[in-house]
Amino acid sequence: MVDPKFKETIYDPFCGTGGFLTEAFNYIKENNIINTDEDLIWARVNQNR
Identify the pLDDT of residue 32: 66
Q: Please report, for the chain, how many H helices and E strands are present, in that order.
A: 2, 0
Identify the pLDDT of residue 31: 79
The 10 Å Cβ neighbour count of residue 16 is 8
How do residues 19-43 score in pLDDT, each as one tens digit?
888 888 888 777 766 667 777 777 7
Identify the pLDDT of residue 23: 85
R_g over Cα of the chain: 11
Identify the pLDDT of residue 22: 85
| pLDDT(2) > 60 | yes
| pLDDT(1) > 70 | no
